[in-house]
Amino acid sequence: MTQATHLSAQQSKTPGTNRRMWGLDSPKMDIDAAHLVVGAEGTVRIPLPAYLIEHEQGLVLFDTSMNPLVCDDPGLVYEEGRPERDMIIGDPEQRIDRQLATLGYRPEDITHVILSHTHSDHAGGLYLFPQAKFFAGPGELQWQAGHGPSTSHLFNPTDFSDEVKAFDWNSVQAPSQDLFGDGSIIMHHTPGHTPGELSALVRLPSRNIILTGDTVHLREAVEWGEVDPSDWDYDEERASIAKLKQLRDSEDASLWIAHDPRDWEDFGGPLQEIA
């Protein structure tokens, strides 16, 4: 092999990168931290976000936040008696369609949607993107369709209408799947919170970031290796937390915990461009 050929082979193994990424602004929810991590204390105001990733092959959303109507009035989505009516704090400008517009995009510009899992604070905006290609973790959609009464409060039945179910859904292969085949976005199966929970390694020119979905909810979950009381499987969850740590270290990446306001401060806040 000549030196030039050797260098070409080496370069071909270098992972690709995305152009840039934003964490979108979102409604917030006031919640007891003990509901997010066993042993945590106090009330925390958590974001309920989505992320936009710009790649040369398309625009990718990681999660879709809650149904955008909650930003206008939670009562438009949640019936009388549901605690979300009082727990959610939103503003009409935090609707995901308006957040995209702020960046110069329309919902129809989205080409791919990665759904970390099917709970309503992540799946509420799915219906806005019928043209996209959708990715969910192994068994996640089947589990959502058959979940039991003990977790019914985590779902909004209207998120998975017949129209949404008919979208172009694709099941991610465990343990990981490369979205574009260039290493720029790698979806990792990190079950525990739900059977098909996904995280995503996002490579950017300046840094690598792991979007954790609900694999963990607050930093304490990573530090303590502790579960969320509502997790589907505690043993799977602890194994996935260990996987996140290993992935973070091996890829020289930073974790972005979607629901932890401290992480949003560290990454510069909503709509901060990261390139």
**Any domain includes 11:** no
- The whole-number average pLDDT for the span 71-92 is 94
Reported as a pLDDT band with limits 50, 70 and 90, residue 11 is very low
| Secondary structure letter of residue 206 according to DSSP | S
Which DSSP helix (H) or strand (E) runs through 181?
none
- The whole-number average pLDDT for the span 245-267 is 98
**Any domain includes 83:** yes
What is d(CA 222, CA 231) in angstroms, rounded to the nearest whole number?
A: 15
Residue 257: CATH number of its domain: 3.60.15.10
Q: What is the CA radius of gyration of the chain?
A: 18
- The whole-number average pLDDT for the span 253-258 is 98
**Any domain includes 230:** yes
Reported as a pLDDT band with limits 50, 70 and 90, residue 48 is very high
> pLDDT at residue 13 above 80?
no
**Any domain includes 211:** yes
**Any domain includes 272:** no
> pLDDT at residue 6 above 50?
no
Q: Of 3-12, 104-113, 132-141, which gets the smallest average pLDDT? A: 3-12
Q: How many domains does the chain have?
A: 1
Q: Which domain holds residue 181?
A: 17-266
**Any domain includes 4:** no
Residues 185-212: pLDDT tens digits? 999 999 999 999 999 999 999 999 999 9
> pLDDT at residue 8 above 90?
no
Contact 65, 50 (CB under 8 A): yes
pTM for this model (two decimals): 0.94
**Any domain includes 37:** yes
| Secondary structure letter of residue 155 according to DSSP | -
**Any domain includes 188:** yes
**Percent of the residues in the chain that have a pLDDT greater than 70, as a whole number:** 96
Contact 85, 26 (CB under 8 A): no
